[in-house]
Amino acid sequence: MELPETFLRRMQALLGAEFGDFLESYSRPAYQGVRLNPLKCDLDTLRRALPVPLISAPFSPFGYYAPELRKPGSLSAHRAGMFYSQEPSAAAPVTVLDPKPGERVLDLCAAPGGKATQIAGLMRGEGLLWANEVVRERANALLSNLERLGVRNSVISCCHPQRLCEGLRGYFDRVLVDAPCSGEGMFRREPEGIGEWAPESPAACAQRQRRILESAALAVREGGVLVYSTCTFSREENEDVVAAFLREHPEFEPLPINVEFGRPGFDGLSRRVLPMDGGEGHFMAKLRRIGENPCRVRRFDRALNEKQSRPARALYESLFADPPDFPLARAGSRLLALPGELPALGGLGVLRAGMELGEERGNRIEPAHGLFMSRQKAQCRQALDFSPEDPALAAFFRGEEIDCAATGYTAVCVCGVTAGFGKASGGKLKNRYPKGLRSP
């Protein structure tokens, strides 16, 4: 791997005596791993569903090294949302953020969804996760990943950070800014990034990062937490960005990061992960707002009333054993099951709020893929369960009909975890697996 000379000189100045160890790390394969999704399965289930061993990683209680894993996206466990394929140390910023069930959490630069889905797992379906991405194509990927992992208490938006945070001023308990950066920590994992790097990249990225932090600060309530992270080594994009922000924002104070992984940053308060620390390359700083920031956000007031909700609730009760204890809203012909607490959404580029329950088609409602993905097998009134190697499961993922003795809508599961659904009649299950997700 041929690294830019300017990059090497900067790293030598940054690391001093450790530069040799850093350079030697580039002769070894990049770390690869998975993060278990606690919304859908436990560790025993994931181990049964994966064809490779898992080794605990220090960056998250749900993170594992999986050095033998190949083509994770083709695995049935991936399709069922049991895991997110992720370089293990990429989980570190959310561990530092430490989101809790019932809180309001904003992931401001969320695509493709690794950190947003990790936050959702820690929130256990309680509270509100707002995941934003300014690039529409990437926002669509974010939405797809949140749906695959069964997240039901989220809002996905495609909005400029300044506009979003002004509209939601003082609303969030925790905000994560995993900022776009020069990506130096990804060179081992994505070597094509080396050709995109230039000596001026860190300075240009630092300007953008400071603007994003300025926006993010607006959204944090008094006493709330703001975590800034990158996947780069440059001090200019890391400690220097945080120092500049704190000089200009006395209403924030730095917090110590009490974790065992990684090493202290050069400011003594932030945290870094280098390849010598078991990960590719990450930086994290944790800040708390100590100044006032009154929240004047209005509550969402467009939920359907009891009469309007009745057909959708009847459909839900026909499919699942648990009660439909969520408000509903309509977006065109689609019906959405909303988080329990939701702000007004107008003007914020919202792509989806909550979970899609189904689509109105004349006098009936066709249930949505995301609805089944958010439910456990035990909640489903009818379910087929397959082993990962079953040919019928592979046929289902190709969009084919499979044998089924039941009648009506039926969940399709792998190792007891929902992966989709179909409608059974005449001994066959008519496939409802989304066409854009099907195997070739």
Q: Which residues are known to be catalytic? A: 231
C-alpha 258: how far from chain center: 23
| Four-residue CA torsion sign, 40, 43, 44, 46 | positive
Q: Are 211 and 142 in contact (CB under 8 A)?
A: no
Provide the pairing of β-strand 104-107 with 128-132.
Answer: parallel
Give the C-alpha separation, 129 to 115, whole Å. 11
Residue 279 identity (one-letter amino acid):
G
Provide the pairing of β-strand 417-425 with 428-431.
Answer: antiparallel
Beta bridge mates, 334: 331, 359
Q: Are 253 and 287 in contact (CB under 8 A)?
A: yes
Give the C-alpha separation, 326 to 321, whole Å. 15
Q: Are 169 and 293 in contact (CB under 8 A)?
A: yes
The two structure tokens encoding residue 170: 């003082």
Q: Are 37 and 149 in contact (CB under 8 A)?
A: yes
